[in-house]
């Protein structure tokens, strides 16, 4: 039976992407989104003249001639957008004025690291060479993993050969292990703080530095919601609008086949195929009641670590931070306690390089704090205490910044605090994990190999989005949308076609 109609759950970047590619291939699509705007976690919000961004710091594929940029062009995501390529990725300060600066230029980074720790010079030379080699990493193969044949791997082989050395050298090594092996005491502590999550693969760090070095991981001016809205406009131009405030409660299955969805208002909607671009856990265990799983799929959710839940403290400040590093992590003279967790450092980010984020001469600042999901989820039941605790956290963050910037507290005009419970409430992401499964030395292999996007015993149903690729990120989300429609087209006997916006 041929396929005419596709229901997509969620208008995050993965769902919007699937919607656009499905329309490019002539399918009748409906995207159900529980929120009232597009983007999912790729969003920003405006408060009293300040815009606070909740997502994009760097976007792989931002360089117009890069391989990955093609997907963004097809989705109309970046056309006409100014891209900012930072000179510094981030800065980590220690006691006594020492600073590790992750320059985006690999040679500059190498020279700086050698200055900080001359005894590790040979190691840093090797690292710089490998960062440059990794810039040649080819984009994903033309075919999705489900359609790849051994010949596809062979075709990629010549492009992969220069990468064999870096892959062999860094595979299985975490940034924490790398840091621990350095001679300089300050660097030993500072280097792993560049990616402050446990067991972060060194190879993923070097890939990030490679994209930065290649000027292919810039920031699109206008921020995350504008980015998502641009993809939504592409979907509109392709003849469909997102159905907002439409929460999918259940995925309907009949005779081992997905046939549609039931919304929270009880209405039922049928289609030939259902694609869930929503949170993976709620899709499998709530919308489908856990009826279609196997040990491998259950294993993902039982054993893969999640990105730690975070709070986002956003501040609108009547002060110009443009001369400050745009992302600086520094030790606090006076550690503070918030939601039962002690913080002896914070990282401040400002967005002064994007004039749309704050009135002239003022600054939008963001501080992320790792925080306990269960704590906030329980606290939210008592609205008064929840609000009071958020205010306490904001006050502690303001005091911490004031210890570095004299008079800061008096210049704060707007305060906004999002907790792990906010992430769950707004986007459905399981346990408030903002990017799904953590990328670690163990889970990183699934980035290449892919996770199961189809469920056993359920035909005509697919899953896409950040929960299907450890480490999350916008490029995999968009790519999933493309790949799944390519897969559907192939199975439906259609030639997959794309066009640029
Ligand atoms: C703080 C932060 C910084 C980040 N920085 C970067 C960065 O610099 N570069 C980068 O590439 N990536 C970054 N990311 C990651 C990136 O934003 C995500 O991985 C990506 O946007 C995930 O897209 P998605 O469509 O898979 O999921 P989501 O954005 O979670 O979208 C899922 C959508 O489904 C909807 N939904 C859920 N359940 C239902 C339901 N039952 N019914 C209807 N709709 C439903 C949700 O409302 C949501 O809109 C960052 C993320 C965060 C939070």
Q: What is the CATH number of the domain that holds 475?
A: 3.50.50.60
Domain assignment present for residue 50? The answer is: no
Q: Is the CB of 17 under 6 A from ligand 1?
A: no
111: Cβ–Cβ under 8 A, 6 or more apart, which residues? none
- Looking at the CA of residue 287, tell me the nearest atom of ligand 1: 41
Helix (H) or strand (E) holding 176: helix 175-180
Q: Which domain holds residue 341?
A: 310-427
Query: CA 240, CA 56: separation in Å to the nearest integer?
Result: 26
Angle at which helices 474-491 and 13-24 cross, to 10°: 30
Domain assignment present for residue 292? The answer is: yes
- Looking at the CA of residue 14, tell me the nearest atom of ligand 1: 25
Q: Is the CB of 61 under 6 A from ligand 1?
A: no
φ/ψ bin of 99: left (φ > 0), alpha (ψ from -120 to 50), beta (otherwise): beta
Q: Is the CB of 166 under 6 A from ligand 1?
A: no
DSSP 405: S
- 188 with 113, same domain: the answer is yes
Q: Is the CB of 55 under 6 A from ligand 1?
A: yes
Domain assignment present for residue 117? The answer is: yes
Q: Is the CB of 225 under 6 A from ligand 1?
A: no
Determine which residue's CA is closest to atom 17 belonging to ligand 1. Answer: 42
Q: Is the CB of 222 under 6 A from ligand 1?
A: no
Q: What is the whole-number distance in angstroms between the Cα of residue 37 and the centre of ligand 1?
A: 12
- 137 with 93, same domain: the answer is yes
Determine which residue's CA is closest to atom 16 belonging to ligand 1. Answer: 473
* Residue 400 contacts residue 408 (beta carbons within 8 Å): no
- 99 with 177, same domain: the answer is yes
**Residues paired with residue 174 on neighbouring β-strands, in sequence order:** 201
Q: Is the CB of 250 under 6 A from ligand 1?
A: no
Q: Is the CB of 474 under 6 A from ligand 1?
A: yes
Q: Is the CB of 279 under 6 A from ligand 1?
A: yes
Q: Is the CB of 19 under 6 A from ligand 1?
A: no
Query: CA 432, CA 250: separation in Å to the nearest integer?
Result: 21
Q: What is the pTM assigned to this prediction?
A: 0.96
Q: What's the domain count of the chain?
A: 3
* Residue 312 contacts residue 342 (beta carbons within 8 Å): no
Q: What is the whole-number distance in angstroms between the Cα of residue 39 and the centre of ligand 1?
A: 7
- 13 with 29, same domain: the answer is yes
The total number of residues shown for the chain amounts to 501
**Residues paired with residue 273 on neighbouring β-strands, in sequence order:** 6
Query: Which is it for strands 273-276 and 310-317: parallel, antiparallel or unpaired?
Result: unpaired
Domain assignment present for residue 228? The answer is: yes
Sign of the dihedral through C-alpha 151, 459, 432, 372: negative
- 295 with 315, same domain: the answer is no
- Looking at the CA of residue 310, tell me the nearest atom of ligand 1: 1
Instruction: Please give the biggest Cα pair distance in the chain.
Output: 70
- 300 with 440, same domain: the answer is yes
* Residue 89 contacts residue 82 (beta carbons within 8 Å): no
Q: What is the pLDDT along the chain (501 residues), one digit of tens a residue?
A: 799 999 999 999 999 999 999 999 999 999 999 999 999 999 999 999 999 999 999 999 999 999 899 999 999 999 999 999 999 999 999 988 899 999 999 999 999 999 999 999 999 999 999 999 999 987 777 788 888 887 777 777 777 888 889 999 999 999 999 999 999 999 999 999 999 999 999 999 999 999 999 999 999 999 999 999 999 999 999 999 999 999 999 999 999 999 999 999 999 999 999 999 999 999 999 999 999 999 999 999 999 999 999 999 999 999 999 999 999 999 999 999 988 899 999 999 999 999 999 999 999 999 999 999 999 999 999 999 999 999 999 999 999 999 999 999 999 999 999 999 999 999 999 999 989 999 999 888 887 778 999 999 999 999 999 999 999 999 999 999 999 999 999 999 999 999 999
Give me the DSSP letters along 256-280.
TEEEEEEETTS-EEE-SEEEE-S-H
Q: Please report the pLDDT score of residue 150 as a whole number.
A: 75
Determine which residue's CA is closest to atom 6 belonging to ligand 1. Answer: 56
3-class state of residue 179 by DSSP: helix
Within 13 Å, how many C-alpha atoms sit on residue 157's CB side? 6
Q: What is the whole-number distance in angstroms between the Cα of residue 295 and the centre of ligand 1?
A: 26
Determine which residue's CA is closest to atom 46 belonging to ligand 1. Answer: 427
Query: Which is it for strands 341-350 and 28-32: parallel, antiparallel or unpaired?
Result: unpaired
Q: What is the whole-number distance in angstroms between the Cα of residue 152 and the centre of ligand 1?
A: 30
**Residues paired with residue 60 on neighbouring β-strands, in sequence order:** 217
3-class state of residue 153 by DSSP: helix
- 423 with 456, same domain: the answer is no
Instruction: Supply φ then ψ for residue 90, to 5 degrees.
Output: -165, 175
Q: What is the whole-number distance in angstroms between the Cα of residue 313 and the centre of ligand 1?
A: 19
Q: Is the CB of 311 under 6 A from ligand 1?
A: no
Q: Is the CB of 33 under 6 A from ligand 1?
A: yes
- Helices first, then strands: H and E counts in the chain: 17, 19
**Residues paired with residue 201 on neighbouring β-strands, in sequence order:** 174
Instruction: Supply φ then ψ for residue 450, to 5 degrees.
Output: 85, 155
Q: Please report the pLDDT score of residue 407 as a whole number.
A: 95
- Looking at the CA of residue 13, tell me the nearest atom of ligand 1: 25
Query: Which is it for strands 412-418 and 310-317: parallel, antiparallel or unpaired?
Result: antiparallel
Domain assignment present for residue 48? The answer is: no
Of the chain, the end-to-end C-alpha distance in Å amounts to 31
- In 194-256, alpha helices (H): 202-213, 223-237
Q: Is the CB of 11 under 6 A from ligand 1?
A: yes
Q: Please report the pLDDT score of residue 236 as a whole number.
A: 98
Query: CA 121, CA 114: separation in Å to the nearest integer?
Result: 5
Q: Is the CB of 408 under 6 A from ligand 1?
A: no
Query: CA 425, CA 468: separation in Å to the nearest integer?
Result: 21
Q: Is the CB of 450 under 6 A from ligand 1?
A: no
- Looking at the CA of residue 54, tell me the nearest atom of ligand 1: 1
Q: Please report the pLDDT score of residue 500 as a whole number.
A: 95
Helix (H) or strand (E) holding 333: strand 327-338
User: Nearest to residue 164, comparing CAs of 156, 176, 450, 182?
Assistant: 156
85: Cβ–Cβ under 8 A, 6 or more apart, which residues? 62, 104, 212, 215, 217, 218, 219
Q: What is the whole-number distance in angstroms between the Cα of residue 187 and the centre of ligand 1?
A: 33
Domain assignment present for residue 142? The answer is: yes
131: Cβ–Cβ under 8 A, 6 or more apart, which residues? 106, 109, 206, 209, 210, 213
Query: CA 244, CA 389: separation in Å to the nearest integer?
Result: 31
- 363 with 285, same domain: the answer is no
Domain assignment present for residue 145? The answer is: yes
Q: What is the whole-number distance in angstroms between the Cα of residue 499 and the centre of ligand 1?
A: 24
- 178 with 282, same domain: the answer is no
Domain assignment present for residue 36? The answer is: yes
- 76 with 225, same domain: the answer is yes
Q: How far is CA 420 from the centre of its chain?
A: 16
- 331 with 272, same domain: the answer is no
Domain end among 160, 195, 214: 214
Q: What is the whole-number distance in angstroms between the Cα of residue 490 and the centre of ligand 1?
A: 27
Distances from the Cα of 314 to the Cα of 197, 284, 296, 368, 421, angstroms:
21, 33, 39, 9, 16
Q: Please report the pLDDT score of residue 483 as a whole number.
A: 96
Q: Please report the pLDDT score of residue 148 as a whole number.
A: 83
- 423 with 486, same domain: the answer is no
Instruction: Supply φ then ψ for residue 479, to 5 degrees.
Output: -65, -40
Query: CA 22, CA 489: separation in Å to the nearest integer?
Result: 9
Q: Is the CB of 25 under 6 A from ligand 1?
A: no
Distances from the Cα of 263 to the Cα of 22, 32, 455, angstroms:
22, 9, 21
Give me the DSSP letters along 133-151.
HHTTPPPPPSS-GGG--HH
CATH number, domain at 340?
3.90.660
Domain end among 198, 214, 230: 214
Domain end among 185, 214, 243: 214
């Amino acid at each position: 039976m041929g396929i005419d109609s596709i229901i997509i759950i969620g208008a995050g970047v993965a769902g919007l992407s699937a919607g656009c590619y499905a329309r490019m291939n002539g399918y009748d699509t409906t995207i159900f989104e529980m929120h009232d705007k597009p983007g999912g976690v790729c969003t920003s919000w405006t408060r009293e003249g300040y815009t606070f961004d909740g997502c994009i710091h760097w976007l792989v594929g931002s360089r117009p001639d890069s391989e990955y940029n093609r997907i963004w062009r097809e989705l109309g995501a970046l056309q006409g957008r100014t891209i900012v390529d930072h000179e510094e990725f981030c800065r980590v300060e220690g006691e006594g004025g020492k600073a590790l600066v992750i320059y985006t230029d690999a040679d500059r980074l190498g020279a700086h690291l050698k200055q900080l720790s001359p005894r590790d010079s040979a190691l840093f030379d090797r690292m710089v060479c490998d960062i440059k080699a990794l810039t040649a990493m080819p984009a994903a193969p033309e075919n999705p993993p489900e359609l790849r044949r051994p010949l596809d791997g062979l075709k990629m082989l010549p492009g992969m050969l220069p990468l064999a050395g870096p892959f062999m050298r860094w595979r299985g090594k975490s940034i924490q292990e790398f840091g621990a092996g350095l001679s300089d005491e300050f660097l030993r502590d500072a280097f792993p703080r560049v990616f402050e999550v446990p067991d972060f693969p060194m190879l993923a760090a070097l890939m990030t530095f490679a994209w930065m070095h290649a000027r292919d991981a810039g920031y699109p001016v206008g921020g995350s919601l504008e980015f998502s809205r641009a993809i939504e406009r592409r979907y509109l131009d392709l003849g469909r609008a997102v159905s907002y405030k439409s929460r999918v409660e259940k995925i309907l299955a009949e005779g081992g086949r997905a046939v549609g969805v039931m919304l929270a208002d009880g209405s039922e909607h049928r289609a030939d195929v259902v694609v869930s671009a929503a949170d993976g856990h709620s899709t499998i265990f709530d919308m489908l009641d856990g009826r279609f799983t196997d040990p491998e799929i259950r294993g993902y959710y039982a054993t893969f670590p999640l990105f730690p839940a975070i709070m986002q403290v956003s501040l609108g400040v009547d002060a110009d931070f443009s001369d400050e590093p745009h992302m600086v992590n520094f030790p606090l003279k006076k550690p503070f306690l918030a939601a039962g967790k002690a913080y002896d450092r914070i990282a401040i980010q400002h967005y002064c390089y994007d004039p749309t984020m704050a009135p002239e001469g003022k600054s939008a600042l963001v501080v992320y704090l790792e925080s306990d999901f269960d704590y906030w989820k329980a606290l939210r039941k008592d609205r008064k205490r929840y609000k009071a605790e958020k205010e306490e956290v904001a006050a502690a963050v303001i005091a911490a910044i004031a210890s570095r910037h004299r008079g800061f507290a008096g210049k704060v005009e707007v305060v906004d605090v999002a907790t792990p419970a906010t992430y769950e409430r707004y986007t459905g992401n399981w346990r408030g994990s903002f990017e799904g499964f953590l990328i670690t030395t163990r889970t990183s292999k699934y980035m290449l190999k892919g996770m199961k996007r189809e469920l056993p015993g359920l035909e005509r149903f697919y899953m896409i989005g950040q929960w299907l690729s450890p480490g999350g990120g916008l490029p995999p989300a968009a790519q999933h949308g493309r790949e799944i429609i390519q897969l559907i087209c192939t199975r439906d006997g259609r030639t997959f076609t794309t066009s640029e916006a």
